[in-house]
Structure 1
């Protein structure tokens, strides 16, 4: 059942319900509901986020078919459904997303928290055009 697969995916990624909820953008209680026999189902968008966060196959998570783990040796990318929220818009975002996917569950959460802190800092207005960081950062 899907609630078992969500729990298995979360545990295999080494995440608590709270950590998975933070990564997906929901509360711990929502994750507890998803993992409950009589609980609610995650939205398709949240199911995709769970698959990416836990590095499991989206097909396996949604249906139970196929292999659980995404096998990088096969060259398979995490199989979340394509959507604007997961698509890299340039090479820098692609590199960041690939590195994020290689992290362990706790590493993903730490990076997410760091990015949230950085993005909440006030920015100085600039009159200069921002450089293309995708080509300048090595």
Structure 2
């Protein structure tokens, strides 16, 4: 597993620190995972590594199955652009840019906070 984690990280051009940030761990944890005698990531972290490096969880964990999580060109569907999902003004663009640089746990907390604020606004509008 250590070799597969290292290979997946290197193929995506991520440093250990960058992968650690995306997995929500320290860079020393990634170094341990990549060491043949080091620790192994738990399932949640392994899943985050798979997503960050665009490999399948099956391949990363066991070495079997398809390596790439991407569909082949013949299998891909035409991309659909959903405008409501993209930034619609400079403020939204700034928020998205910042959001994409946050550690996963921080990002999750911020999303929860924003959802709570949005639901409070909706509740106040309905009652007012």
Same structural fold, with TM-score higher than 0.5 when normalized by the shorter chain: yes
How far apart are 1:8 and its partner, in Å?
A: 0.6
User: 1:1-138 maps to which residues of 2 (within 5 A)?
Assistant: 2-73=1-72, 74=75, 111-113=100-102, 119=110, 128-129=121-122
In structure 2, list runs of 5 or more residues that go unmatched.
77-81, 87-98, 124-128
Deviation string 1:90-114 (CA, Å, 9 cap, x unpaired) is x9xxx68xxxxxxxxxxxxx82339
Q: Is the 8 A contact 2:56 2:68 kept in 1?
A: yes
**Equivalent-residue separation in structure 1 for 2:100 and 2:11 (angstroms):** 19
TM-score normalised by structure 1 residue count: 0.57
Q: Is the 8 A contact 2:21 2:103 kept in 1?
A: no
- Higher fraction of helix: 2
Q: Is the 8 A contact 2:24 2:103 kept in 1?
A: no
Residues 111, 66 of structure 1: alpha-carbon distance in 2 compared, 3 angstrom cutoff: same
TM-score normalised by structure 2 residue count: 0.61
How far apart are 1:14 and its partner, in Å?
A: 1.1
What value does the CA root-mean-square deviation take over the aligned residues? 3.5
State the SS of the aligned residue for 1:34: helix
Give aligned pairs, total.
97
Q: Is the 8 A contact 2:22 2:52 kept in 1?
A: yes
Structure 1 residue ranges (4+ consecutive) displaced by more than 4 angstroms after TM superposition: 114-117
Q: Is the 8 A contact 2:8 2:53 kept in 1?
A: yes
**Equivalent-residue separation in structure 2 for 1:18 and 1:48 (angstroms):** 17
